[in-house]
Amino acid sequence: MKNNGGTQTPAGSPVGKAVNGSHPVNGANGANGANGANGANRPNGSNGAKAGAAAALQQRAADRDFQQAISGGLTAARRKFVIVAVFSLCANLLLLSLPIYLFQLSDRVYTSRSLDTLIMLSVVVVGAIGAYVFLDVIRRLILTRVAVETESRLGAPVLSAAAKAAQGGISRDFQTLGDLQQLRAFITGPVILMMLDAPVAPFYLLAVFLIHPHLGAIVTATGLALVVIGLINQKLTAVPFAQANTYAGRANLAADAMARNSQVINAMGMIPEGVQIWGRETAESLKAHVTAQDRNTYLAGISKMVRLSTQVAILGWGAWLALHDELTGGMVIAASIVASRALAPLEGTIEGWRGFVHARSAYARIKTLLQNSPLNLERLRLPNPAGRLTVERILYVPPPSKKVILNGVSFQLEPGESLAIVGTSGAGKSTLARMLVGSIAPTAGNVRLDWMDLRNWDPRQFGESVGYLPQDVQLFPASIKANIARMREDVSDAAIFEAAELADVHEMISQFAAGYETQVLIDGSPLSGGQKQRIGLARAFFGNPRLVVLDEPNSNLDAAGEMALARALTRAKDKKITIVAITQRPSLLQSVDRIMILKDGTAQAVGKREDIIPMLSGRPPGNGSVPPPPSTGNGPPRLDA
Ligand SMILES: Nc1ncnc2c1ncn2[C@@H]1O[C@H](COP(=O)(O)OP(=O)(O)OP(=O)(O)O)[C@@H](O)[C@H]1O
Ligand SMILES: [Mg+2]
């Protein structure tokens, strides 16, 4: 076994290079290489102190240091990858003992007929194989842990960043969680092991060359042929595989839409249509998949042919060389074994290349999401706002359409003042509401809370100072209590009760058998539409917000509910909460200080309640500049009728 020791020594130096080149995460993240050594264990350590110092209501998992999450997670992963790579190299070198054994048998044992040599060689080779298996098991165990650690470290930051990125209404970023799973699957999959085995292939190739240069040339030629076939395979299958994925994604969206609208679908017998839409996308996906898979199979066949022919070529040419006394039979067989070991990682890498590319782009998406997240920016923690809302000439033109949705809207509200926004359907009321709570940013102009642009508030602090009731109220699948408390666990029951009192929903909640503990399901049951709206109102008022934006809070309310809402607005005024309420019904107008009429995205009139109401009801005051909307007699009175 002297040979073995000799091979290992020169192997020492290329290890580092080979490892860095081959493992994907490292390669993709060259930029973070410098801060490699430290902070691998507790990247969030410094955050702990910061969070502890923050005010009680604001102590929350700091979701800012994504940069650190990425680099910390990677550093830990990278160190383990280096270990795995070293293990892989050693394991593969140990595996060389098999051909060497064969070589020695034919060279020494057959010639010397020494039983002792046979026994000794066998013991050594069994030991080497045992060590190989041990190292192989260890490296797989480590990779599993790297994978789990990557997902657990990056999961929370990715979900936070995705939620933030989705605030404008595009939820594609939530798919990044899927990317994270893909990355984990790749790290635990077989391809990465093959890729880690690849750096040792040159040594095997060298061994074949040492046995006989002709045989080495055959193996080299095969290797090149396999690479070419692999490249052709990539070219021919990339497009159909991508198509298959796109269609499969659309089919999933269709199935999701069916799940969300299951009641509508069932009520109106729309199941066949839903299935048809899903089926169309699925069929396209499968078609593309078959095309890609067929091409893949053909090329895999060719590559198998090449590889098996190589075995024949080595054995055949080896036999010819043996006939000319240039080799022994044992050497030929040893060469064939070593050759297949040299080609296996190459083949595996080619086969798994697509997986590698996918994992790499998944990783790139994760990195982009985390690095570009607005949550990354540290913002000064200001004193909690008093609730002065300033809107300055906002213009909103969402990118693709170029349609002006809001144009030159301006107003200012002092703490405790309330404004009702009325206007026809599609006037831009909900858009304005979303802008007031920072969900969407104006194309031009500013929305300020206490003089500070919304974009510059710390998101958490801002969120706690604001209440928002969207037009389409959705509750979380949890208890009523948790929903009112905005899913927070670190709050007192008194705070929840206070919000329920303020929103005047305590009595309504008491009528449920389980009271505040009543579980709301994903579809909102057992709450009625109006009840959901009132729980949403309590949620908006939870935690003593300074600005509350209500988007048609009374659209599902009966007369009693409207009275409760009016009382809630009066109480909010006493607490100096600034209120913006969008409404289509006149009843709410009696409880506000000011009214704005929005038409086609422009404020037609803003003013005191007493001045605006006459315009709306068709009795223009002396100086009214806005013609009154025509009124109709049927249904509940609506301002946009
Ligand atoms: N992201 C968007 N991209 C393009 N157009 C949009 C977008 N969001 C809203 N709109 C358009 O802006 C207009 C105003 O929508 P908005 O939801 O604000 O109306 P609204 O006044 O709340 O109406 P309603 O009373 O029916 O709730 C509509 O014409 C709508 O089609
Ligand atoms: Mg609306």
What are the beta bridge partners of residue 85?
A: none
> Using CA atoms, how far apart are residues 334 and 347, in angstroms rounded to an integer?
20
Nearest bound ligand to CA 432? Answer: 1
Q: Domain spans of the chain?
A: 8-42+63-200+359-378, 213-326, 389-616
Is the CB–ligand 1 distance for residue 425 below 6 Å?
Answer: yes
Segment (H or E) for 421 = strand 418-423
Give residue-wise pLDDT tens across range 530-549.
Answer: 899 999 999 999 988 999 99
396 CA distance to ligand 1 middle (Å)? 11
**Interval between CA 529 and ligand 1 midpoint (Å):** 22
Task: Output the pLDDT for position 154.
Answer: 86
The pLDDT tens digits of the residues spanning 135-167 come to: 999 999 999 998 888 888 888 888 888 888 887
* Residues pairing with 407 in the sheet: 395
Take residue 142 and report the two structure tokens written for it.
Answer: 């480590």
- Residue 324 buriedness (CB in 10 A; 0-12 / 13-18 / 19+): exposed
Strand 578-582 and strand 418-423: pairing? Answer: parallel
Q: Are 87 and 138 in contact (CB under 8 A)?
A: yes
Span 112-135, mean pLDDT? 91
pLDDT given for residue 168 in this prediction: 65
Q: Are 183 and 362 in contact (CB under 8 A)?
A: yes
Quote the ligand 2 centre to 526 CA distance (angstroms).
25
CA distance linking residue 189 with residue 146, whole number of Å: 12
> 278 pLDDT band (50/70/90 cuts)?
very high
- The tokens for 486 are 């905005």
Give the single-character DSSP code of 479. Answer: B
Pick the ligand that lies closest to the CA of residue 421.
1
For residue 471, the ligand 1 atom closest to its alpha carbon is 27
Task: Extract the tokens encoding 513.
Answer: 């058998």
Q: Please determine, for residue 118, whether its predicted confidence score (pLDDT) is greater than 70.
A: yes
Q: Evaluate: CB of 111 within 6 angstroms of ligand 1.
A: no
Distances (CA, A) of 393 to 398, 449, 602, 604: 16, 15, 10, 13
H-helix or E-strand spanning residue 275: helix 271-323
Q: Report how far residue 15's alpha carbon sits from residue 327's, in angstroms, rounded to the nearest whole number.
A: 32
pLDDT score recorded for residue 640 = 42
Q: What are phi and psi of 620, to 5 degrees?
A: -60, 135
User: From the CB of 97, is ligand 1 less than 6 Å away?
Assistant: no
**Strands of the sheet with 594-599, listed across from one edge:** 466-469, 547-551, 578-582, 418-423, 594-599, 602-608
Which of the 8 DSSP states describes residue 595? E
The predicted pLDDT at position 64 comes to 54
Of 2 and 446, which is predicted with more confidence? 446
What's the 601 CA to ligand 2 centre distance in angstroms?
12
- Amino acid type, 5: G
Cα of 286 vs centre of ligand 2, distance in Å, is 40
User: How far apart are the CA of 425 and the centre of ligand 2, in A?
Assistant: 7
Q: Whose CA is nearest to atom 10 of ligand 1?
A: 405
Residues 509, 491: Cα–Cα separation, whole Å: 19
What's the confidence (pLDDT) of residue 16? 34
Task: Say if pTM beats, i.e. exceeds, 0.75.
Answer: no
Judge whether 413 and 388 are in contact, CB under 8 Å: yes
Query: Which atom of ligand 1 lies at the shortest distance from residue 640's CA?
Result: 25
pLDDT at 410: 92
Q: Is the distance from the beta carbon of residue 407 to the nearest atom of ligand 1 less than 6 Å?
A: no
Pocket flag, ligand 1, residue 405 (CB < 6 Å): yes
Q: Is the CB of 471 under 6 A from ligand 1?
A: yes
Predicted local distance difference test score (pLDDT) of residue 383: 87
Torsion angle of the four alpha carbons 159, 160, 161, 162, in this order, in degrees rounded to the nearest 10: 40
Q: Is the pLDDT of residue 17 over 70?
A: no
Which of 371-375, 409-413, 454-458, 593-597 shows the lowest per-residue confidence on average (mean pLDDT)? 371-375
pLDDT at 113: 82
Using the mean position of ligand 1's atoms as its centre, give its distance from the Cα of residue 64 in Å.
32
The CB of 436 under 6 Å from ligand 1? The reply is: no
Q: How far, in Å, from the CA of 600 to the mean position of ligand 1? A: 10
Which residue CA neighbors atom 8 of ligand 1 most closely? 431
Q: State mean pLDDT over 353-371.
A: 87
Any atom of ligand 1 within 6 Å of the Cβ of 607: no
Beta carbons of 465 and 389 less than 8 angstroms apart: no
Ligand 1, atom 24, lies closest to the CA of 425
Question: Which pLDDT value is given to residue 111?
Answer: 80
- DSSP letter string, 54-80: S-GGG-------HHHHHHHHHHHHHHH
Torsion sign over Cα 323, 327, 329, 333: negative
Q: How far is the C-alpha of 416 from the C-alpha of 449, rounded, in Å?
A: 13
Distance of alpha carbon 478 from alpha carbon 509, whole angstroms:
15
**Interval between CA 422 and ligand 2 midpoint (Å):** 10
Residue 582 has pLDDT above 90, yes or no: yes
CB of 429 shorter than 6 A to ligand 1: yes
Say if ligand 1 is within 6 A of residue 424 CB. Answer: no
Query: What six digits make up the tokens of 326?
Result: 């240039």
Separation between Cα atoms, residue 478 and residue 499, nearest integer Å: 17
Cis peptide before 526 (omega within 30 of 0): yes
Assigned token pair, 89: 């190299």
pLDDT score of 602: 92
Per the CB < 8 A criterion, the answer to whether 142 and 79 are in contact is: no
Rounded distance between C-alpha atoms, residue 305 and residue 303, angstroms: 5
CATH of 389-616, one of 3.40.50.300, 3.40.50.170, 3.20.10.10, 3.30.450.20: 3.40.50.300
Please tell me if the CB atom of residue 398 comes closer than 6 angstroms to any atom of ligand 1: yes
Burial status of residue 130 (CB atoms within 10 A of its CB: 0-12, 13-18, 19 or more): exposed
Say yes or no: CB of residue 427 within 6 Å of ligand 1.
Answer: yes
How many A from CA of 430 to the centre of ligand 2? 4
Judged by average pLDDT, the poorest of 65-79, 333-347, 548-562 is: 65-79
Q: Give the closest residue to 603 by CA, choosing from 439, 453, 432, 452.
A: 432
Cis upstream peptide for 636 (omega within 30°): no
CB 433 within 8 A of CB 582: yes
To which residue do tokens 């199979």 refer?
A: 297
